[in-house]
Amino acid sequence: MPAVPAASSAAVAGTASSKPLGIGFPYISVLPPELYRSGLLDFVELTPDTLCRARRDGAATRLDLAPERLERARKVCGALPVVVHGVELSIGSAQHWNAAYLDMLDQLQACWPFVWHSEHLSYQTIPGENGAPLDIGVPLPLPGTWEAVDLVAERAAVIRQRYGVPFLLENPAHYLINLPYERGIDDEIGLITQITARSGCGQLLDLHNLYCNAINLGFDPFAAIDRTALHRVREIHVAGGSWRGGFWMDAHNGRVPNPVWELLAYTLPRCPNIAGVVYELLEEYAPRLGVAALDQELSRARYLWERHGPGSRAQD
């Protein structure tokens, strides 16, 4: 299988430039709504599953937007632009992806247009005994095979067409060594590079995921960034984690570790089409962390954005 030539233009559809948004933060329903009007953030990242109810529809599960949750989220977010970050699509499942998620996303886009949307490069379902999708319980990374590249690239291209806004794939955190990688793909950087190049979609570069994998699987994260197709990176995630069972876990449970801030400072000036940096935090940890700490993390992200992001380049 021949390697895909590197994209020659920054204006690839997945990263087609629009005005950079700046610093983003997830919509977390338990936080004070004032946070979203404080000026600390420029846009909001929605995980639409949190606005949904699931219900059985025959053998399938249907996702319905819950009007009261949607209404509250819109009220809290006000006029801030929104982007969507999915966790349910299972874009890499060999036999099924989550069509119900896309149906729900259709509904969401119709009532609350988003600037771009993203999904993890992973799979979380396998065929069950009767062929219906069976949840694994956690997302798993794809093996680096050309079959996987073709499958995901084709699906990503379909999604780009369907929503007409940039679609980004996120590099996942995982703990699996010895995943197979075919020649020409070679590693997880090669895998996502091949997929984004073939599909024309962009990349959500999660620096905490990269940091986790670098620690747990043993590689240099700066060298990995150097090999990433950074012209495709539209969004960057930073987050916190913690040690558990001898692994640095992608827990989204607190402050961003210093090495991840260092990675952000290194990466930002190298991403010509970057449009936003999001500090990720899980809802269950947000109240414990507190608004003061959130303020500090978002302010630090903004400092780096202003110093190394698109605005700094315009001033140069």
Partner 1 sequence: MPLLDHQMALGQCLRGTDAEARTAPILDAKEQGQIDRIVESAGFRFTRRVQRSWCRGRVASVARLTLSALPPEQAQKLLGDWIEMGGGTASHTAAEAGAFLEFIARDLPDPSHARTICRMEQAIYRASEAATDFECPDLRLLDDPAAALCAGQGAARVDFFAEPQQLLTAIEEGKRLPPLSETYIAVLFAPGLAGLFRAASADEIALWEELGTPTTIRILDSLYGRDVIKELFRIGAAELAVRQDAGRSISAGSAHNLSADTPPNTAGNRGAPLRDADAPAISRHQCRCRARV
- Measured at the CA of 281, the angle between CA 262 and CA 126, to 5 degrees, comes to 105
Q: Which stretch binds partner 1 (CB under 8 A): 29-37, 106-114, 141-149, 259-267?
A: 141-149
Q: Looking at 79, 138, 292, 314, which residue binds partner 1 (CB under 8 A)?
A: 138
CB 176, min distance to partner 1, A: 5
Name the amino acid, one letter, at 268.
L
Under rule CB under 8 A, residue 123 binds partner 1? yes
Stretch that binds partner 1, among 61-69, 196-204, 233-241, 285-293 (CB under 8 A): 61-69
Residue 55 is a binding residue for partner 1 (CB under 8 A): yes
d(C-alpha 201, C-alpha 171), whole Å: 13
Residue 79 binds partner 1, judged by CB under 8 A: no
| Encoded tokens for 179 | 């995943």
Q: Which stretch binds partner 1 (CB under 8 A): 12-20, 131-139, 230-238, 285-293?
A: 131-139
Vertex 97: Cα angle to 186 and 5 (nearest 5): 35
5 binds partner 1 (CB under 8 A): no
In angstroms, rounded to a whole number, what is the distance separating the alpha carbons of residues 140 and 142? 7
C-alpha span between 310 and 199 (Å, rounded)? 25
Q: Does the protein bind partner 1 through residue 246 (CB under 8 A)?
A: yes
**Residue 135 dihedral angles phi and psi, to the nearest 5°:** -75, 140
Structure tokens at 135: 């949840």
Q: Which of residues 166-205 bind partner 1 (CB under 8 A)?
A: 174-180
CA angle, residues 122, 123, 124, in degrees to nearest 5: 130
Does position 137 bind partner 1 by CB under 8 A? yes
Q: Rule CB under 8 A: is residue 209 a binding residue for partner 1?
A: no
207 Cβ contact partners less than 8 Å away, ≥ 6 residues apart: 221, 236, 237, 238, 260, 263, 264, 267
Residues that bind partner 1 (CB under 8 A): 49, 52-58, 61, 63-64, 66, 87-88, 93-95, 123, 125-129, 134-138, 140, 142-143, 145, 147-148, 151, 174-180, 216-217, 244-247, 249
